Amino acid sequence: MDLMKALAECKHAFESYERTAEEARAYQEQRLLDGLRKREQSACKILDVWVVSTTSVGRQLAASLLVFAFRHGDISERVFDQYWVRLNGLEVAA
């Protein structure tokens, strides 16, 4: 009887650990997504100014900023594609 109780307690402890670990992973993932969202917002503010630039130098700078932000993980692929299309004047309905 004591062995069954000990096994039940071990099982409960293990399940509790699994839930805690899963919650920690979910929390960490959410923090990473929140961080990316904040970086994307900051990058988008900068890109909005440069992407609408009519000078070739301004548009070249915007292209460089866009690639830099993407390579450094400051924007997602979705945001990169969105601005790349705008930058190249290929605005299409999403």
Number of domains within the chain = 1
Q: How far apart, in whole angstroms, are the C-alpha atoms of residue 12 and residue 19?
A: 11
Token pair, residue 14, equals 């293990």
**Containing structural domain, residue 18:** 2-87
**How far is the C-alpha of 76 from the C-alpha of 92, rounded, in Å?**
19
Assigned domain for 78 exists:
yes
Check whether 4 has a pLDDT greater than 50.
yes
Which tens digit of pLDDT belongs to each residue from 12-71? 888 888 888 888 889 999 998 888 888 888 888 888 887 776 678 888 888 888 899 889
Decide if 55 is inside a domain.
yes
**pTM exceeding the 0.85 threshold for the entire prediction:** no
Q: Is the pLDDT assigned to residue 91 strictly greater than 70?
A: no
Q: Is position 93 within any domain? A: no
76: left (phi over 0), alpha (psi -120 to 50) or beta: beta
- How far, rounded to the nearest angstrom, does the alpha carbon of residue 27 sit from its chain's CA centroid? 14
pLDDT of residue 90: 53
Check pLDDT > 60 for residue 92. Answer: no
For residue 18, tell me if it sits in a domain.
yes
